[in-house]
A and B are shown apart, each in its own frame.
Chain A
Amino acid sequence: MARKISNRRKIIMTVLAWSIGFLIFFPILWTIILSFKTEGDAIKTPLQVLSSHWTFESYALVQERSNYFRHFMNSVIISFGSVILALVIGIPSAWAMAFVPGKGTKNVLMWMLSTKMMPAVGVLIPIYLMFRDWGLLDTRTGLIIVLCLMNLPIVIWMLYTYFKEIPSEILEAARMDGAGLRSEILYVLTPMAVPGIASTLLLNVILSWNEAFWTLNLTAAKAAPLTAFIAAYSSPEGLFYAKLSAASTLAIAPILILGWFSQKQLVRGLTFGAVK
């Protein structure tokens, strides 16, 4: 028997849900609004802010004064670089564990996960000193290495759960049809693995983009990605609301868009398969 949902109830629930959704989203919305105002208008009362005129001025100023684009590119290079490196290392491992599982596979997986549980402060000093001695402080290379290792356990876990879902019967069928190992990997497995690899890439790029412990502690002016660049607004001089908003909007917009595509992967990637 289908349950009958009264229209009134549906409307009440809709109004309630939209109101709460709006409130939760409001800080982001307000940041976007302020980014299109002048500094003088941005500190006025909310109603005055809304009725003042709209401008792209702050975006131009942010780029002009601090070479915003460079920090943006740092973020892009560091987040994609670290995840691609992690995929190169992680795909063979996850592949082997999913398709040729041995007795120790489960233990290896759990051990990899346990490295993720280590709080970053526990290794802050050694990493900092090593980076100092090796000249890796404030370099993109240094951050790519650290973020790659930080995300490697999640990358391998996600890939493993995706690869596990590829039915092994398909492999057997391909083998029966006379496919060699090369064509098996190229024409049968790869097309089935691509969506899983893409999802893994997506979620981990988001995590790296927003990472704010190592990026803040290991960079200064040169290699600073957006997380560190925006942290500099914590002690600014003069009026800065509109500029902070413009810098923030540009920093979160790409990830918000990627994030909308990755809702499902988020649950899967961050719960390590414990919630499906």
Chain B
Amino acid sequence: MSTHASRAAARLMISPSVILLFLWMAVPLGMTLWFSFQRYNLLMPGQTGFVGFQNYEYFLTDPAFFTALWNTLFLVGGVLLITIIGGMLLALLLDQAIFGQGIVRVLVIAPFFVMPTVSALVWKNFFFNPVSGIFAYIANFFGFPAYDFLAQAPLLSITLIVAWQWLPFATLILLTALQSLDSEQLEAAEMDGASIFSRFIYIMVPHLSRAATVVILIQTIFLLSTFAEILVTTNGGPGNASTTLTYLVYVQSLLQFDVGGGAAGGIVAVILANIVAIFLMRMIGKNLET
């Protein structure tokens, strides 16, 4: 039983992290909110002042915002689609009895540990390059003209790179969930004459759906912040073709020095991320009680 003294000691032990995290979250976020209502451009130091919702108005009516919003949805949706379907298939495959299972597992998981700038540059130069890339070589080998991935389909190419990085994560979590499935249940269903297909639909899918939801939510949080992959491959271009919301805010704040406009964009990004976060938190919270 915890005494009064130990309760006080516990509070003392918890407070440093609470205070630090509070400062880390509240102060900068408050400043962003404050800037978002100001006219504040680092290139025009004299002209500052309260402008109400003007920054939001400019940001939300800028055609670049809609392009960026669509690009963000495409990137996040595309990566989720590839990683969930691919991860499910890979998890089912890795769950089979195979020779050298441990080594295959290591090969599949490896991309997750490659830093984003490396994986983006490796794909950009060694695979997507229309002259010396491997894809160009394969295309030429079969008599097709080489395709300039990053110029003609920049967003799709970045989606593929990011999907390659996150496929291991989805696979690993779905595999973990699959392995916690009660094998007796499956055997019983098999004895009762259930086909492989109906065993998959009625036993595995319901069991995996929870893990898949977790994958979707966590990946969404991380994918909304995709940055390095865009910076080193296309710089958001050509034009705005591969600019996401995160990248747009970066361009506006650190390249155009428009602090007010960038801050408004940052707040919009925070609101969007929070919508996803609420669902994720609810799932994790439920789990904490059991």
Q: Do A and B bind each other?
A: yes
| Residues A231 and B231 in contact, CB atoms below 8 Å apart | yes
Binds A, one of B23-31, B43-51, B75-83: B23-31
Q: Is A22 an interface residue (CB 8 A)?
A: yes
| Residues B262 and A10 in contact, CB atoms below 8 Å apart | no
9 A-B pairs with CB atoms under 8 Å apart are A27-B123, A89-B16, A115-B21, A119-B270, A125-B253, A231-B228, A255-B113, A267-B173, A273-B287
Chain A residue nearest to B285 (CB atoms) is A110
| Residues A263 and B13 in contact, CB atoms below 8 Å apart | no
Q: Which residues of A contact B (CB under 8 A)?
A: 1, 3, 5, 10-11, 13-14, 16-18, 20-22, 24-25, 27-28, 30-31, 34, 43, 45-46, 89-90, 92-93, 95-97, 99-100, 102, 106, 108-110, 112-130, 149, 152-153, 156, 206, 209-210, 212-213, 216-217, 226-228, 230-231, 233-234, 241, 244, 248, 251-252, 255-256, 258-260, 263, 266-267, 270-276
| Residues B20 and A89 in contact, CB atoms below 8 Å apart | yes
Chain B residue nearest to A233 (CB atoms) is B121
| Residues B214 and A216 in contact, CB atoms below 8 Å apart | no
Specify which chain B residues have a CB less than 8 angstroms from the CB of A97 in the assembled complex. 10, 14
Told that A14-B98, A28-B114 touch, could you supply 14 new A-B pairs with CB distance under 8 A? A20-B90, A20-B93, A24-B168, A30-B134, A93-B17, A108-B14, A114-B281, A116-B221, A122-B273, A130-B28, A233-B232, A248-B122, A252-B115, A276-B176
| Residues A121 and B116 in contact, CB atoms below 8 Å apart | no
| Residues B25 and A115 in contact, CB atoms below 8 Å apart | yes
Specify which chain A residues have a CB less than 8 angstroms from the CB of B270 in the assembled complex. 118-119, 122
Q: Give the CA-CA distance A276 to B74 in the complex, in Å.
A: 30
| Residues A248 and B246 in contact, CB atoms below 8 Å apart | no
Q: Give the CA-CA distance A126 to B36 in the complex, in Å.
A: 11
Q: Is B241 an interface residue (CB 8 A)?
A: no
Q: Give the CA-CA distance A116 to B273 in the complex, in Å.
A: 11
Known: A119-B224, A120-B225, A213-B225. A271 touches B117 (CB 8 A): no
Q: Give the CA-CA distance A275 to B104 in the complex, in Å.
A: 22
Binds A, one of B1-9, B56-64, B151-159, B194-202: B1-9
| Residues A46 and B231 in contact, CB atoms below 8 Å apart | no
Specify which chain B residues have a CB less than 8 angstroms from the CB of A5 in the assembled complex. 97
Specify which chain B residues have a CB less than 8 angstroms from the CB of A227 in the assembled complex. 115-117, 228
Q: Give the CA-CA distance A226 to B118 in the complex, in Å.
A: 9
Q: Which residues of B contact A (CB under 8 A)?
A: 2, 6-7, 9-11, 13-14, 16-18, 20-21, 24-25, 27-29, 31-32, 35, 90, 93-94, 96-101, 103-119, 121-127, 132, 134, 137, 164, 167-169, 172-173, 176-177, 180, 187, 210-211, 214, 218, 221, 224-225, 227-228, 231-233, 245-246, 249-250, 253-254, 259, 262-263, 265-267, 269-270, 273-274, 276-277, 280-281, 283-285, 287-289
Known: A230-B118, A260-B106, A267-B176. A117 touches B25 (CB 8 A): no
Q: Give the CA-CA distance A110 to B281 in the complex, in Å.
A: 7
Q: Give the CA-CA distance A213 to B222 in the complex, in Å.
A: 11
Specify which chain A residues have a CB less than 8 angstroms from the CB of B218 in the assembled complex. 270-271
Specify which chain B residues have a CB less than 8 angstroms from the CB of A112 in the assembled complex. 17-18, 21
Q: Give the CA-CA distance A263 to B122 in the complex, in Å.
A: 24
Q: Count the A-B residue pairs with Cβ separation under 8 angstroms: how many? A: 292
A89, A127, A233, A234 — most chain B CB neighbours (10 Å) = A234
Specify which chain B residues have a CB less than 8 angstroms from the CB of A125 in the assembled complex. 31-32, 35, 253, 259, 262-263, 266
Chain B residue nearest to A100 (CB atoms) is B10
| Residues B228 and A27 in contact, CB atoms below 8 Å apart | no
Specify which chain A residues have a CB less than 8 angstroms from the CB of B21 in the assembled complex. 112, 115, 149, 152-153
Chain A residue nearest to B253 (CB atoms) is A125
| Residues B167 and A24 in contact, CB atoms below 8 Å apart | yes
| Residues B284 and A273 in contact, CB atoms below 8 Å apart | yes
| Residues B13 and A209 in contact, CB atoms below 8 Å apart | no
| Residues A89 and B17 in contact, CB atoms below 8 Å apart | yes
| Residues A126 and B107 in contact, CB atoms below 8 Å apart | no
| Residues A3 and B187 in contact, CB atoms below 8 Å apart | yes
Tell me the minimal C-beta distance from B52 to chain A in angstroms: 19
> Which of A129, A241, A259 makes the CB contact (< 8 A) with B109?
A259
Q: Give the CA-CA distance A24 to B231 in the complex, in Å.
A: 23
| Residues A273 and B225 in contact, CB atoms below 8 Å apart | no
Tell me the minimal C-beta distance from B169 to chain A in angstroms: 7
> Which of B9, B97, B107, B274 makes the CB contact (< 8 A) with A24?
B107
Tell me the minimal C-beta distance from B59 to chain A in angstroms: 13
Known: A13-B96, A27-B127, A275-B211. A152 touches B17 (CB 8 A): yes
Chain B residue nearest to A260 (CB atoms) is B106
